[in-house]
């Protein structure tokens, strides 16, 4: 992937903005750290990809379920644009995308700054 960053030296390009569909995420390995990048529709957010509960890959939140039409909610966990949270695809722990906090336990995982420039998404590790 190209290396020039128009948004600052410590930002790394992770994807073209249109590669991350609204309500979904991708995961990338940036400098050895697994990062999940979500498009809530309002904004892009980057958070550590591994859930602190049992290490689920958070970027799978919003993935369509098997036989989704025969269930009620269609997706495994998901992104909540209004509250800027993501619920984990395994057990639905809800992570604040701004602060990285899980309210019930008070546990936190890292979040990262995101910039969008020229149609590309950049993350600062």
Partner 1 sequence: MGSSTEQLDPEAEVPEQAFEDYIIDLDFHVNPMTDELMSYVEDDVIRDKLTTEFGPTPVVGKWDAAYAIKEGTEGLYTQGRAEYAEDVREACKKFAIDEPIVNPGINNLNQQHHPLLKNGVTQAANDYMLDNFADEGMYTSMMVPKWDPEYAVEEIERVGSEDNIAAAYSWFDPKVPWGAEQFDPVFEALVEHDLPLLLHGSLAYWPQHTHIGDEMMTWTEVLGFDWPIHGMVNVVNMIMRGVFDRFPDLNVVLQEAGHWWVPFLRYRMDEFYEMHPEDVKITPRKHEAGERYLDRTPSEYLRDNFYLCTQPFAMPRNAGEAEGMLNLSLAEDMFIYSSDWPHQTLDPPTWFYTSRAFDDDTRQAILHENAEDILRL
Where on the chain is the footprint of partner 1 (CB under 8 A)?
A: 1-5, 9-10, 12-14, 26-31, 34, 49, 54-57, 59-60, 65-68, 70-73, 76, 87, 90-92, 94
Binders in 45-104 for ligand FES, by CB under 6 A: 51, 53-54, 56, 88, 90-91, 93
**Using CB distances below 5 to 8 A depending on partner kind, what does residue 53 bind out of partner 1, ligand FES, none?**
ligand FES
CA proximity to 50, closest of 18, 5, 24, 86: 86
Q: Give one DSSP letter per residue of 14-38, joined into a string.
A: EEEGGGS-TTEEEEEEETTEEEEEE
Nearer residue to ligand FES within complex by CB, 90 or 124 = 90
Count, residues near ligand FES per rule CB under 6 A? 8
Per-residue binder mask for ligand FES (CB under 6 A), 1-40, x = binder: ----------------------------------------
62-91 per-residue burial string, b: 16 or more CB within 10 A, e: under 16: bbeeeeeeeeeeebbbbbebeebbbbbbbe
Nearer residue to partner 1 within complex by CB, 27 or 99 = 27
CA angle centred on 11, ends 34 and 25, rounded to 5° = 45
Q: Is the distance from CB of 80 to CB of 73 less than 8 angstroms?
A: no
CB of 88 to partner 1, least distance (A): 10
């Amino acid at each position: 992937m190209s290396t020039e960053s128009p948004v600052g030296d410590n930002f790394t390009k992770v994807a073209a903005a249109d590669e991350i569909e609204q309500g979904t995420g991708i995961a990338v390995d940036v400098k050895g750290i697994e990062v999940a990048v979500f498009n809530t529709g309002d904004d892009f957010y980057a958070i550590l990809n591994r859930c602190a509960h049992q290490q689920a890959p958070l970027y799978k939140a919003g993935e369509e379920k098997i036989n989704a039409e025969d269930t009620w909610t269609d997706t495994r966990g998901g992104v909540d644009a209004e509250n800027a949270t993501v619920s984990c695809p395994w057990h639905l722990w809800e992570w604040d995308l701004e602060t990285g906090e899980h309210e019930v336990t008070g546990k936190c995982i890292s979040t990262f700054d995101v910039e969008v420039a020229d149609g590309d998404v950049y993350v600062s590790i």
